[in-house]
Amino acid sequence: MKTIQYMGSKQSLLPFIEAAIDHFVASMSNADLGLIKTKPKSFFDAFAGSGRVSYYFRDHYRIISNDKLSFSKVILSAYLNNPYAPSHYKKYIRHLNNLNRDFFESCDGWFSQTYGGEWNEGRSEDENGVKKVWLKKNARRIDMMRHQIALWQQSGEISDSEEAVLLLSLILAVNKVSNVVGHQNGYLKRWCIAAQRDIHLEVPQLEKRSQSKHKHLTGDIFEQLPNIKADLAYFDPPYGTNNKNLVVATRYSSFYHLWHTLVTNDRPQTFGKASKPVHTKGYTEPLERNKRAVVMPKFIRLIEEVRAPIVAFSYSNKGLLTAKDFEAIYRWAGCDMTSFRVYMTEHRANKQSQIAKKSGQWIDRANAQAPLREYLIIACKNPQRFASKARFTPKKAKGDIEKFPKLNAWLKQDENYSLPNSTWLFNPEDQSFAQLIK
């Protein structure tokens, strides 16, 4: 699967996640599995991002994916719901690659005006110090390609799934000529070699799926939850960090705004030296904030409100919350704590941690010396609670979980880095697990 480079992508953890879920399900009796009584058949990937997790599990489960950023749905619709052979797209891709310059006159040129820059002796800044992402020659082609896809879509020439494939092709091609390193929070000062190349679309490596059962959504998770039903809900939220010296949150809307705007094709008002859409300015949404008092209640809500009998989270020991925090979250959210488990694997440090380490920001971290460990935290919801749809948190805290006294008391204590009793360590050699503490 060719997809986007993405912060927090689970690419290298997929076999671990699969093994952990399988181990959990195999170790539960049918009665323990609560409402579903059999192996889970549907999988809700609630923070799907690059789509790697949903793609990996596409033949194991019926997938329902969601992310607040619109490119996630495009990527997954293209890979999981495309009804045609790849050859079907050749004529469209050829047409897009060969659009005549005159066609530019029919576009509004928004991408070129906003993100296109002159060669300027190799400097990507314009006269006002605003850095540009694409050389004008590519920006103009991006305008034309995006406009042509919109025209086909509006005239009914292409369906939603065909549009998704063409947009995926555009995103992948754009990535090869963008003047960025990884994310799109800022751009390089000088035009890099890749940005100097000519943009060229290719047909993505697709699978033909005539009758796909998979479904993909775009939206804020709390708005989506009431409409979703699945056997297993998988949450891979932003992790934050427990490094007190790193105050910057990973604001996905800001980090990946170009792909989002390419897909929505709206014309957001922009601001600053990177011309980011104003909706990415200032505001950090609760799940991306680096505050336990903000994030913990939201995670309780996620579990309480999701209509899935099994709930799993990906997280790491360098994230904002500890495994013990999760144990409390699952308890307060009404899970059957006899089923609660933390599966754990050791993993190489991510980019953010490596940079932090280099610049000495590592020091103020309570568990600084511990190796990076990735978790898959999982439990069944309490069947009675699940059936009654009642909330588990006290009545007074309804709708305002921040007023939950147990949680407030918990937050006053220091972070507890010990591991919950039911922690299982992964052996990647033979994909087995051993219980760490009995």
Ligand X SMILES: C[S@@+](CC[C@H](N)C(=O)[O-])C[C@H]1O[C@@H](n2cnc3c(N)ncnc32)[C@H](O)[C@@H]1O
Should residue 183 be labelled a site residue for ligand X when binding is judged by CB under 6 A? no
Tell me how far, at minimum, the Cβ of 430 lies from ligand X, in Å: 25
Should residue 240 be labelled a site residue for ligand X when binding is judged by CB under 6 A? no
Q: Which is nearer to ligand X, 288 or 325 (CB)?
A: 288
Scanning 77-85, 97-105, 112-120, 280-288 for contacts with ligand X by CB under 6 A, the matching segment is 280-288
Q: Which is nearer to ligand X, 36 or 344 (CB)?
A: 344
Q: Give the x/- contact pattern for ligand X in 10-39, rule: CB under 6 A.
A: x-----------------------------
Token pair recorded at residue 73: 């749905």
Interacting residue with ligand X among 32, 207, 285, 305 (CB under 6 A): 285
Q: Which is nearer to ligand X, 35 or 372 (CB)?
A: 372
Q: Which is nearer to ligand X, 212 or 250 (CB)?
A: 250
Q: Which is nearer to ligand X, 43 or 89 (CB)?
A: 43
Should residue 420 be labelled a site residue for ligand X when binding is judged by CB under 6 A? no
Q: Give the x/- contact pattern for ligand X in 308-347, rule: CB under 6 A.
A: ----------------------------------------
Secondary structure in 3-state letters for the chain? CCCCCCCCCCHHHHHHHHHHHHHHHHHCCCCCCCCCCCCCCEEEECCCCCCHHHHHCCCCCEEEEEECCHHHHHHHHHHHCCCCCHHHHHHHHHHHHCCCHHHHHHCCCHHHHHHEECCHHHECECCCCCECCEEHHHHHHHHHHHHHHHHHHHHCCCCHHHHHHHHHHHHHHHHCCCCCCCCCCCCCCECCHHHHCCCCCCCCCCCCCCCCCCEEEECCHHHHHHHCECCEEEECCCCCCCCCCCCCCCCHHHHCHHHHHHHHCCCCCEECCCCEEHHHCCCCCHHHCCCHHHHHHHHHHHHHHCECCEEEEEEECCCCCCHHHHHHHHHHCCEEEEEEEEEEEECCCCHHHHHHHHCCCCCCCCCCCCCCEEEEEEEEECHHHHHHCCCCCCHHHCCCHHHCHHHHHHHHCCCCCCCCCCEEEEECCCCEEEECCC
Tell me how far, at minimum, the Cβ of 424 lies from ligand X, in Å: 21
Binding footprint of ligand X, residue count (CB under 6 A): 22
Should residue 391 be labelled a site residue for ligand X when binding is judged by CB under 6 A? no
Tell me how far, at minimum, the Cβ of 173 lies from ligand X, in Å: 20
Should residue 365 be labelled a site residue for ligand X when binding is judged by CB under 6 A? no
Phi/psi at 311 (5° precision): -125, 125
Interacting residue with ligand X among 42, 50, 241, 290 (CB under 6 A): 50
Should residue 397 be labelled a site residue for ligand X when binding is judged by CB under 6 A? no
Should residue 163 be labelled a site residue for ligand X when binding is judged by CB under 6 A? no
Should residue 277 be labelled a site residue for ligand X when binding is judged by CB under 6 A? no
Tell me how far, at minimum, the Cβ of 250 lies from ligand X, in Å: 8
Interacting residue with ligand X among 198, 220, 266, 400 (CB under 6 A): 220
Tell me how far, at minimum, the Cβ of 248 lies from ligand X, in Å: 15
- List contacts with ligand X (CB under 6 A): 6, 8-10, 47-50, 52-53, 67-69, 220-221, 236-238, 252, 285, 287-288
